[in-house]
Structure formats: structure tokens, C-alpha cells
Amino acid sequence: VWYEWKWSEAEQHFRRALEINPSYAPAHHDYAWLLVALGRTEEGLTSLQRAIALDPLSARINIDSGWLLLQAHRFEEAIRQARRALDLEPGLAEAQACIKRAQLAQKNALGNADKSKMLDELERAFESHSLMLPLLETEPAYTSLHGNPRFEALARKIGLR
């Protein structure tokens, strides 16, 4: 249902899965992504912390914590979490990418992009039903687009508003 952008149905499925097995780290992990996409960032981070507590040696869960911290604009924490993932899996390209993205966001390097081109890319991502588009509203690269009518229309089409 994540892939179909059926948010309330997805949440129902996650809640049921966690009722059945509250110790299943991947369910907490995946639920965290949904919560962040829905703008419930702190709840998402709490769910991801639970996943880490259940499976602290999972490089996947640790790096995704870094990415979600980046979405929450908590850049220093994102860098620390990505480094923790690198400790677990040296050379992990995703962790290195997370560190670079967080460093760029800290410097506001992404804020200087051409807004029209960014919106064109987002609209193409919508047409191809991109899996990352649900994180549209929390992605630091798109913060400068908030309030733009094209951006707002896209958020409504995805069902985030």
C-alpha cells in the first residue's frame, strides 16, 4: 500500500503487524518511513529508535535512521548515525552519501537550485510513481519550494495534504 500511496491503509497494516509481533524490527523500521512521509517525524524517529533497540547491528536500520534524521533537518545527528552505520558495514555507499547530503544541507548548498527545474523533476517523479516522492515535504532539498503552488498541488496529488 506504500507503493499505491494509500497512507491510512498502510498505517493500519503496520499497526496490525506491530500488534502481532511488537519485537519485529523491520516493521518498526518501515513504519518509521511512513510516519515521516506523513509529517509525523518525531513518531517516525521513535519507531526507528525502537527498531535499532531491537536490532542494533543492522546496518540497514542504522543508515535509514541517518536518512530520516536528515529528513528531520537534524544534520549533525544524521552524520553521526551514518558513521555508526559505516562502523557496522565499512564502505557502505549509502552511509557515505547520507553524510555528504547532510553536509551539503548544513551549508545550504541545495537552497540555490533552480526552483522551476526542481519542480519539473518532481512532476516527472510523480508521473513515474517514484518510491521516494512520499518524502517530498521533509526532504531538505525541497524546503525552499514549500508554499509554491506547483509544489502544494503535487503534495495534494500524492495525498500528503
Q: What is the CATH number of the domain that holds 90?
A: 1.25.40.10
**Once rounded to an integer, what is the mean pLDDT over residues 41-45?**
94
In this structure, the answer to whether residues 52 and 80 fall within a common structural domain is: yes
- The average confidence (pLDDT) of the chain is 87
Instruction: Average the pLDDT over each of 31-45, 55-69, 93-107, 142-156 and give the range with the smallest value.
Output: 93-107
Residue 62 within any structural domain of the chain: yes
**H or E stretch including 13?**
helix 7-20
- 16 has pLDDT over 90: yes
- Count how many domains the chain has: 2
**Once rounded to an integer, what is the mean pLDDT over residues 129-140?**
77
- Domain hosting residue 124, numbered range: 112-158
Residue 16 within any structural domain of the chain: yes
What is residue 2's predicted lDDT score, i.e. its pLDDT?
67
For residues 158 and 43, give the distance between their C-alpha atoms in angstroms, rounded to a whole number: 21
Task: For residue 50, name the pLDDT band (cuts at 50, 70, 90).
Answer: very high
Q: What cell was used for 18?
A: 506491530
- 1 has pLDDT over 70: no
In this structure, the answer to whether residues 62 and 78 fall within a common structural domain is: yes
**Once rounded to an integer, what is the mean pLDDT over residues 94-120?**
76
User: pLDDT digits over 65-83, tens only?
Assistant: 999 999 888 999 999 999 9
Residue 1 within any structural domain of the chain: no
- 100 has pLDDT over 90: no
- The answer to whether residues 8 and 24 touch, using CB atoms and an 8 Å cutoff, is no
SS (H, E, C) the chain: CCCCCCHHHHHHHHHHHHHHCCCCHHHHHHHHHHHHHCCCHHHHHHHHHHHHHHCCCCHHHHHHHHHHHHHCCCHHHHHHHHHHHHHHCCCCHHHHHHHHHHHHHHCCHHHHCCHHHHHHHHHHHHHCCCCCHHHCCCCHHHHHHCCCHHHHHHHHHHCCC
Residue 36 within any structural domain of the chain: yes
